[in-house]
Amino acid sequence: MSGDHEDAAAAAREFGHQFSEFMNWAHTVGAADDAPLTRLIKAHLGGADDEPVVSRRWGAFEQVNLQRAVEAWTVQPGREVRVQGLSIPDGFSGVSLGQVIDGSHLPPMRLSAPDVTDLPSGPGESLACWNRALLLVRDAAGPYAVLISGPQPHEEASVRFEIAGLPMAEAQSVLGDLEESRARLNVYRGQTVIASMTPMGGIALTFATTERVQRADVILPTAVLDRIERHAIAISAHADRLTAAGQHLKRGLLLYGPPGTGKTHTVRYLIGARDHATRILMQGEALRAVGQITTLARELAPSVVVLEDVDLVAEDRSYGEINPVLFDLLDAMDGSAADADLLFVLTTNRAEVLERALIQRPGRIDVAVEIDRPDEGARRKLLRLYGAEVLAALSDEDLEQVVERSDGVTASFLKELIRRAVLSALNDDRVSRCTLPDLTDALDDLLDQAQSVTRSLLGLSGDESSDEAVDDGTTGYRSVARPGVYRARPRRGRLP
């Protein structure tokens, strides 16, 4: 028994000895491999290698802006920069500048050309960005080193700059200069971008080119469109005078109404009309990042932030009874400084879901506009808009029949109606010239109860539609009363 015990203890001692020999060996091999880099930095820094390493991090979406900033900074007069890449084999974690200077516990590394990622820097443009680069700098501040580490796999996506060799205040001032150029050279300024959330909780921005919608193609009652434009566009046009008069430019516009009535269509028109502004589009999960996006929008002002289908996050109660995302959203809208020309456009087809939050956080939404189903005149205009060519063979009386029979449908329903009529003409080899039967058959088909699923998908109200349709008298639009579904209370004007 005790013999066994001693054997085991001896084996453990032997293992311990061998393990420590192995570690010494591994360390020597590592140090021998890494020595060139450590030697290089130490030689460059002269004796200044005991200054603190000062670092700063930015979100990964800033990598392209930082690259522009660092490139501009590198070529400033009086500065000499040698760029050195470090390659670390896959599977090893990143390295800090402190580690490199110290020369211990380093992953295996080789000096190489800087490893780059090509990142979008505008619609259809890209910029090669350093993923890991060591800059050996010499300028008025003396010799120092900057290590740039781009987003690494399995880490929170960020870009880190570390500076060694300078006293703290000077290192901070270098970081401040880089930060200033990052903000000034921001590639997202004046662009349309879609914000999304990365799996690690950061923001990703993608350049978008959205279809430009002309004013004449937005079929809404004049009073409604005027009101939207006054709030969204005119305030920016008078920005200087409003600011001089002590008025703020930040504003929130809520577009609400049934699916397929043109909320997104109106947003497209607005972002086209504000083409000098930075336009940031958010939907779904991305709405959770509204705080960070608002900071970005403010930096890039004038900005338009579009928050589509806000009811979806408003309804998510996974964090408890009161939905924090919605409150964050409303707080973000409030928190930005009064001078920034920021327009928030929110859309929803379920305004009542937002109501309680809007009552508890008043003043974020200045104007709520209902976008309702088209009345007779609007349906006529929509048929002309979407059927200009294909309905040319129809007489005015034919068209009126369709207008009359389509009471209660949405704009997107009419678009689909025309598409189906065109298909039926094509099936008959009538090269996209529709006849009245093409249209009425398609209408019968779409209106048929059997198509109820398609009908609700297209935003057509239920059986009650024509009976309960009411003309509200102010907009010339017909609103279909579906209590508790689309109707927001209070319906127009300022929400409390």
Ligand X SMILES: Nc1ncnc2c1ncn2[C@@H]1O[C@H](COP(=O)(O)OP(=O)(O)OP(=O)(O)O)[C@@H](O)[C@H]1O
Residues that bind Mg ion (CB under 5 A): 263-264
- For ligand X, the binding residues (CB under 6 A) are 217-220, 259-265, 349, 382, 411-412, 415
CB of 271 to ligand X, least distance (A): 13
Q: Which is nearer to Mg ion, 264 or 424 (CB)?
A: 264
CB of 346 to ligand X, least distance (A): 12
Distance CA 225, CA 215 (A): 9
CB of 213 to ligand X, least distance (A): 8
CB of 391 to ligand X, least distance (A): 16
Q: Which is nearer to ligand X, 175 or 469 (CB)?
A: 469
The strand pair at 110-112 and 80-87 is best described as antiparallel
CB of 56 to ligand X, least distance (A): 40
Q: Which is nearer to ligand X, 165 or 221 (CB)?
A: 221
Query: Are residues 208 and 124 in contact, defined by beta-carbon separation less than 8 angstroms?
Result: no
114 binds, among Mg ion, ligand X, none (CB under 5 to 8 A by kind): none
CB of 182 to ligand X, least distance (A): 35
Q: Which is nearer to ligand X, 69 or 368 (CB)?
A: 368
By Cβ distance, which residue is nearest to Mg ion?
Answer: 264
CB of 263 to Mg ion, least distance (A): 5
302 binds, among ligand X, Mg ion, none (CB under 5 to 8 A by kind): none
262 binds, among ligand X, Mg ion, none (CB under 5 to 8 A by kind): ligand X
Residue by residue, what is the 3-state secondary structure of 67-103?
A: HHHHHHHHCCCCCEEEEEEEECCCCCCCCCHHHHHHC
CA quadruple 479, 480, 486, 491: dihedral sign:
positive
Instruction: Say if residue 174 is exposed, middle or buried (CB neighbours under 10 Å; 0-12, 13-18, 19+).
Output: buried
Distance CA 63, CA 481 (A): 50
CB of 417 to ligand X, least distance (A): 11
412 binds, among Mg ion, ligand X, none (CB under 5 to 8 A by kind): ligand X
CB of 395 to ligand X, least distance (A): 23
Q: Which is nearer to ligand X, 296 or 354 (CB)?
A: 354
411 binds, among Mg ion, ligand X, none (CB under 5 to 8 A by kind): ligand X
Q: Which is nearer to ligand X, 165 or 259 (CB)?
A: 259
Residue 99's CB is within 10 A of a number of other CB atoms, namely: 18
CB of 210 to Mg ion, least distance (A): 13
259 binds, among ligand X, Mg ion, none (CB under 5 to 8 A by kind): ligand X
- Cα–Cα distance list, 471 to 257, 348, 375, 468, 485 (Å): 15, 22, 8, 10, 18
Q: Which is nearer to Mg ion, 20 or 456 (CB)?
A: 456
Q: Which is nearer to ligand X, 211 or 396 (CB)?
A: 211
Q: Which is nearer to ligand X, 229 or 299 (CB)?
A: 229
415 binds, among ligand X, Mg ion, none (CB under 5 to 8 A by kind): ligand X
| Tokens read off for 163 | 């500076």
Q: Which is nearer to ligand X, 54 or 280 (CB)?
A: 280
349 binds, among Mg ion, ligand X, none (CB under 5 to 8 A by kind): ligand X
By Cβ distance, which residue is nearest to ligand X?
Answer: 262
303 binds, among ligand X, Mg ion, none (CB under 5 to 8 A by kind): none
| Tokens read off for 443 | 């209408």
220 binds, among Mg ion, ligand X, none (CB under 5 to 8 A by kind): ligand X
Q: Which is nearer to ligand X, 411 or 434 (CB)?
A: 411
CB of 103 to ligand X, least distance (A): 58
387 binds, among ligand X, Mg ion, none (CB under 5 to 8 A by kind): none
